[in-house]
């Protein structure tokens, strides 16, 4: 396994698309990250409320039960707000939404693998 | 002695005119006093006018007797001078006698003066007099009467027949009758008739007189006649003017009243009485105060009327124009202006016009304008509520608005006054069927109008009348006009909503389409790049390839949906019927979803009963099944999914039941419409085409698709198909 980084940062990937979750998990783990996945923001919120503290959250805006906006407004607050969030969305207005919600970065789907790695690296160093 | 006191004198002379005897007061009045022995010349002396006396004496000496009146010293005397003869008949002197007739003379003079004055008066007054001795048939006319007839004095022939000749032929019978009646009845009479004057001119005369009868029964008619032609013309003109005025008064549509300044009624017309309900017998008394009492009791604001009257009493020169509202709902326009005779104000003319209808039309127009303004919004519910408030109390004391905008009938607004109590009108079936209706509900008169739109009956407006008021055609007209406007507003709001929703749906479609494409593309992109770059561990290669294949299928399904939508919308959805086993199709689809289903946590059971084989389109049914299974897995909440395929009596039923999040009741109605979704776009992807496409295919196969669902408990989709097309 080619691990360029060995900082063992934990990345939480939140996306209701199973394949995206899986392919990201495979690729980020291959790059040395510890990857946690959640099927939607509700699950992500539960993880965090149970004490999970990822170094970076990669978030799809559109997920069942709780969407990314609700997550950022209700969960990503206080001390948790220091955790950088990268929004990854297919929505046309995602970048604007990301700025409005105070996300660290926005990646518009379809995402280039290299771009993903670059941004994750930037926010986990 | 006796002769000496005689108011005159008696005397005798000889042939020399020497007085031989004289006695009487007249002898004493001569200067010097006449005494026997004096000549007549001496006795007359310087008396003025003595000449006729001397001549009479000289004539007597010649044998001629003379008698004449003479004026001496302010008195009148009648003198007789005769010859005195001897037995042989020879004149031997004169005998004279003089009598004082001053009193008699004065009486005569007065009579003459009186007659003269009468003639003059008759002349000035144009009154002629007549006298008719009926038995002798002698008729005497005064000069003035002859002049009135155009005759010269003395030209009248003096008989009844001569009089009748002058009478206008048309009036002869009547005149003869009047004369006959007067003679028969006796006493005073009066008659008017026309005469033709000598110059041909026709004049109207009036005669007034008396019939006297002497003791022996002889009749005499005495009277006066005068020319009343001008008077008659003036009277006729006056009558004409009056009748013109009366005709004008009655012909006008306004009620008119003319009063003097002292509560007296000068004139009025029938219309005025009609408008105020004043009985004719009351009006005939011309009592202003009594008539006013009828007016005051009908007015809504009698005190204002009295204030205006008082003001006009103080300022009679003013003109006024007011609107009066009556207790019975009528509205009058009341104008007044002073009545002038020259410069002087002698009364006031009032004109009253019933403007109820005009006022009603105006108020209706204003009401409808206000209603239209209220309805000029897309917030149709608040607009209809506003209309209900606006309509009370104009159209009724209560207004109910039923609105079916959300599918189910419901009372949107109910506004009512206390007069209506707890009564609330229902909704008649006839109204729901699109008919306007006036009906009675207990003591209430009700009026209901449907809101008819192109889409059908969108609701109804029901009015409840004020107590004692009964709805009629005019009320129906205004209610229908209101309903038309409201229906139009409902329609506009619907069109706008649909347009807005269409735009929103298009925007959402584009957003979702992008999302739906970008999701699989992202997976494929990263998987391919991971493999190409060699960053993906070898152990993951197979998984990455599976992901690529799966996402490829997802994209293909997406493209299929779009293609199907295009076909449906352009009417080019063609189904190829062949013998198809629905159980097999369900099983094949389930295999395709095995992976997703496994990852979703849901179990999937498939039960088949009978032989579910029919003449169907294989690809189409595969689409239907795929869409239903996809939804069940997506929204199944990881709970069991039960699929049953049952064939019975030539029909096959496919049921897909999940126990997931369920569908909200308000969403069920539009679930099968294109671009509709049962869940928020914020949480779930999908184009919102699956059920629309499924329904279209099923219906094209002659079947039906329906859904039962409860929020939080799951949904059951049921497809029922005939095995063969009829």
Q: Reduced to 3 DSSP states, what percent helix, strand and coil does chain B have, rounded to the nearest 5? A: 45, 30, 25
Compute the average pLDDT of residues B585-592. 92
| pLDDT interval class at B246 (50, 70, 90) | confident
Q: Is the pLDDT of residue B370 over 90?
A: yes
At B313-362, the pLDDT tens digits run 889 999 999 999 998 888 999 999 999 988 899 999 999 999 988 888 88
Shortest alpha-carbon distance between residue A52 and chain B (Å): 23
The set of residues, in sequence order, having a beta carbon less than 8 Å from that of B534 and lying 6+ positions away, is: A2
The partner residues of B94 in beta bridges, in order of sequence, read B13, B83
The whole-angstrom separation of Cα B206 and Cα B145 is: 12
pLDDT at B5: 62
Q: In this model, does residue B279 exceed pLDDT 50?
A: yes
Over residues B487-503, the mean pLDDT reads: 88
Q: Which residues of B touch A33 (CB under 8 A)?
A: none
Contact A26 B684 (CB under 8 A): no
Contact list in A for residue B599 (CB cut-off 8 A) is 18
Q: Is the pLDDT of residue A4 over 80?
A: no
Q: For residue A8, give both structure tokens.
A: 């063992």
Q: Where are the beta strands (DSSP E) in chain A?
A: 10-14, 34-38, 56-59, 85-89, 105-108
CA-based nearest residue to A62, from B669, B511, B299: B511
The pLDDT value given to residue B3? 56
**Residues listed for chain B:** 726
Which of A30, A62, A69 lies closest to B536 in CB terms?
Answer: A30
- What does the pLDDT average to over B531-542? 88
Higher pLDDT, B228 or B187: B228
Round to whole Å and give the CA distance between B45 and B54: 11
Assess whether pLDDT exceeds 50 at residue A1: no
Write the pLDDT tens digit of every residue in B59-111: 999 999 999 988 877 788 888 999 999 888 899 999 999 888 888 888 888 88
The per-residue pLDDT for A2 is 45
Q: How far is A80 from chain B (nearest CA, A)?
A: 23
First to last CA, chain A: 20
Q: Closest to A92 (Cβ–Cβ): which among B514, B534, B540?
A: B514
Taking only the tens place, the pLDDT of each residue in B606-651 is 999 999 999 999 989 998 999 999 999 988 989 999 999 999 999 9
Are A69 and B544 in contact (CB < 8 Å)? Answer: no
Among all residues of chain A, which has the CA nearest to that of B512?
A91
The pTM of the whole model exceeds 0.90:
no
Which residues, 6 or more positions from B615, have their beta carbon under 8 angstroms from its beta carbon? Answer: B577, B578, B579, B580, B723, B724, B725
pLDDT value at residue B497? 84
Look at B537 and A30 and tell me if their CB atoms are within 8 Å. Answer: yes
Interatomic CA distance for residues B545 and B551, integer angstroms:
10
CA distance B359 to B394: 13
Listing DSSP states for B462-515 in one string gives EEEPPTT----HHHHHHHHHHHHHHHHHHHHHHHHHHHHHHHHHHHHHHHHHHH
Task: Residue B95: name the closest of B69, B124, B62, B57 by CA.
Answer: B57
Mean pLDDT, rounded, of chain A: 88
The pLDDT value given to residue B257: 92
Percent of chain A clearing pLDDT 70 (strictly above): 94
Cα–Cα distance measured from residue B593 to residue A30, given in angstroms and rounded to the nearest whole number: 29
Please, which residues have CB within 8 angstroms of residue B324's CB and are 6 or more apart in sequence?
B299, B300, B301, B305, B331, B332, B333, B334, B352
Is residue A63 a contact partner of residue A17, using CB atoms and an 8 Å limit?
no
pLDDT at B30: 65
Supply B535's token pair. Answer: 């960053």
Residue B201 pLDDT exceeds 80: yes
pLDDT at B683: 66
Q: Are B429 and B457 in contact (CB under 8 A)?
A: no
> How far away is chain A from the Cα of B698, in angstroms, using its nearest Cα?
29
**H-helix or E-strand containing B526?**
helix B473-533
Between B687 and B75, residue with greater pLDDT:
B75
User: Cα(B569)–Cα(B552) distance, rounded to whole angstroms?
Assistant: 26
ipTM score for this prediction:
0.92
Q: Which pLDDT score is estimated for B174?
A: 94
Q: Do A113 and B682 touch (CB under 8 A)?
A: no
pLDDT value of residue B80? 92
Average pLDDT, chain B: 88
- Closest partner residue to A92 (CB to CB) among B511, B537, B682 is B511
Radius of gyration of chain B (CA): 65
In this structure, what is the dihedral angle of CA atoms B440, B441, B444, B449, given to the nearest 10 degrees? -70
Residue A17 has a pLDDT of: 86
Report the pLDDT value the prediction gives residue B407, as an integer from 0 to 100.
62
Element (H, E) at B277: none
Coil, strand or helix: which one is B180?
A: helix
Mean pLDDT, residues B539-547:
90
Poorest-pLDDT segment among B46-55, B249-258, B488-497: B46-55
Q: Beta strand A56-59 with A85-89: parallel, antiparallel or unpaired?
A: parallel
Q: Say whether pLDDT at B406 is over 90.
A: no
Q: Which two tokens stand for residue B4?
A: 């000496």
DSSP string, B600-639: HT--EEEEEES--EEEEEHHHHHHHHHHHHHHHHHHSTT-
Distance CA B460, CA B433 (A): 10
pLDDT at A77 over 70: yes
A63: nearest CA partner in chain B:
B683
Average pLDDT score over residue span A44-71: 90
Helix orientation angle between B473-533 and A18-30, rounded to the nearest 10 degrees: 30
**pLDDT for res B535:** 83
3-state secondary structure B14-57: ECCCEEEEEECHHHHHCCCCCCCCCEHHHHHCCCCCCHHHHHHH
pLDDT tens, position by position, B438-468? 999 888 899 999 999 988 888 999 999 988 7
Q: How far apart are CA B52 and CA B62, in angstroms?
A: 15
Q: What is the mean pLDDT of residues B15-40?
A: 82
Say what the pLDDT of residue B681 is: 64
Pairwise CA distance, residues B650 & B723, whole Å: 5
Predicted pLDDT at B685? 67
The answer on pLDDT for B660 being more than 50 is yes
Question: Average pLDDT in the B123-150 region?
Answer: 88
User: What is the structure's pLDDT at B429?
Assistant: 86
């Amino acid at each position: 396994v080619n691990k360029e980084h060995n900082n063992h940062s934990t990345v939480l990937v939140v996306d209701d698309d199973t394949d995206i979750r899986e392919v990201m998990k495979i690729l980020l783990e291959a790059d040395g990250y510890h990857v946690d996945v959640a099927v939607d923001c509700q699950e992500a919120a539960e993880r965090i409320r149970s004490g999970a503290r990822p170094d970076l959250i990669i978030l799809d805006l559109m997920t069942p039960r709780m969407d990314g906006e609700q997550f950022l407004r209700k969960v990503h607050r206080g001390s948790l707000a220091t955790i950088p969030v990268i929004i990854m969305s297919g929505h046309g207005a995602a970048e604007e939404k990301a700025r409005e919600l105070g996300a660290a970065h926005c990646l518009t789907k379809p995402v280039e693998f290299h771009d993903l790695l670059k941004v994750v690296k930037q926010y986990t160093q | 002695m006796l002769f000496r006191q005689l108011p005159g004198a008696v005397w005798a002379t000889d042939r020399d005119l020497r007085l031989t005897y004289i006695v009487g007061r007249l002898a004493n009045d001569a200067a010097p006093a006449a005494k026997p022995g004096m000549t007549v010349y001496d006795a007359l002396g310087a008396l003025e006018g003595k000449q006729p006396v001397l001549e009479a004496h000289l004539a007597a000496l010649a044998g001629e007797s003379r008698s004449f009146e003479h004026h001496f010293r302010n008195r009148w005397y009648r003198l007789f001078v005769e010859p005195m003869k001897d037995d042989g008949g020879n004149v031997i002197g004169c005998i004279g006698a003089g009598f004082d007739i001053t009193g008699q003379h004065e009486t005569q003079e007065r009579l003459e003066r009186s007659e003269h004055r009468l003639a003059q008066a008759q002349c000035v007054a144009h009154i002629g007099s007549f006298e008719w001795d009926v038995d002798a048939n002698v008729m005497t006319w005064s000069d003035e009467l002859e002049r009135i007839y155009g005759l010269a004095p003395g030209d009248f022939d003096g008989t009844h027949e001569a009089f009748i000749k002058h009478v206008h032929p048309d009036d002869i019978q009547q005149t003869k009758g009047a004369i006959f009646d007067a003679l028969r009845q006796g006493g005073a009479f009066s008659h008017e008739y026309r005469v033709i004057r000598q110059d041909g001119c026709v004049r109207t005369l009036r005669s007034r007189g008396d019939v006297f009868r002497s003791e022996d029964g002889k009749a005499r008619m005495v009277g006066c006649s005068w020319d009343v032609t001008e008077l008659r013309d003036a009277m006729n003109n006056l009558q004409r003017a009056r009748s013109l005025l009366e005709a004008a008064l009655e012909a006008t549509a306004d009620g008119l009243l003319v009063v003097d300044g002292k509560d007296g009624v000068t004139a009025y017309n029938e219309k005025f009485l009609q408008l105020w309900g004043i009985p004719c017998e009351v009006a005939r008394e011309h009592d202003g105060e009594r008539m006013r009492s009828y007016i005051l009791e009908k007015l809504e604001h009698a005190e204002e009327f009295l204030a205006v009257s008082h003001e006009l009493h103080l300022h009679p020169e003013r003109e006024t124009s007011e609107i009066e509202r009556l207790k019975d709902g009528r509205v009058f326009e009341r104008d007044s202006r002073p009545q002038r005779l020259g410069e002087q104000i002698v009364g006031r003319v009032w004109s009253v016009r019933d403007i109820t209808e005009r006022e009603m039309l105006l108020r209706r127009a204003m009401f409808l304008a206000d209603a239209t303004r209220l309805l000029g919004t897309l917030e149709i519910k608040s607009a209809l509520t506003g209309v209900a408030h606006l309509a009370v109390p104009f159209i009724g004391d209560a207004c109910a608005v039923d609105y079916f905008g959300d599918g189910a009938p419901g009372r949107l607004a109910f506004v009512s006054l206390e007069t209506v109590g707890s009564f609330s009108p229902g909704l008649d079936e006839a109204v729901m069927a699109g008919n306007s209706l006036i009906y009675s509900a207990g003591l209430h008169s009700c009026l209901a109008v449907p809101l008819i739109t192109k889409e059908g009956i969108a609701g109804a407006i029901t009015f409840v009348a004020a107590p004692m008021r009964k709805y009629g055609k005019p009320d129906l007209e205004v209610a229908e006009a209101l309903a038309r406007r409201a229906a139009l507003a409902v329609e506009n709001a619907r069109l706008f909503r649909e347009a807005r929703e269409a735009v929103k749906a298009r925007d959402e479609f584009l957003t979702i389409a992008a999302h739906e494409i970008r999701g699989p593309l992202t997976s494929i992109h990263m998987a391919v790049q991971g493999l190409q770059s060699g960053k993906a561990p070898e152990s993951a290669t197979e998984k990455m390839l599976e992901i690529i294949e799966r996402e490829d299928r997802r994209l293909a399904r997406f493209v299929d949906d779009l293609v199907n939508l295009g076909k449906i919308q352009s009417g080019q959805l063609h189904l190829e019927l062949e013998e198809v086993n629905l159980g097999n199709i369900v099983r094949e689809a389930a295999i395709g979803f095995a992976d997703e289903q496994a990852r979703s946590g849901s179990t999937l059971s498939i039960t088949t009963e009978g032989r579910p084989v029919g003449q169907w389109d294989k690809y189409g049914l595969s689409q239907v099944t795929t869409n239903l299974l996809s939804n069940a897995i997506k929204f199944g909440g990881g709970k069991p999914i039960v699929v049953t395929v049952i064939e019975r009596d030539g029909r096959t039923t496919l049921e897909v039941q999940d126990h997931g999040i369920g569908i909200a009741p308000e969403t069920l109605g539009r679930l099968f419409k294109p671009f509709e979704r049962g869940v928020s776009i914020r949480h779930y992807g999908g184009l919102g085409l699956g059920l629309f496409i499924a329904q279209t295919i099923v219906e094209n196969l002659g079947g039906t698709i329906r859904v039962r669902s409860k929020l939080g408990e799951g949904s059951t989709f049921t497809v029922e198909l005939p095995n063969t097309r009829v």
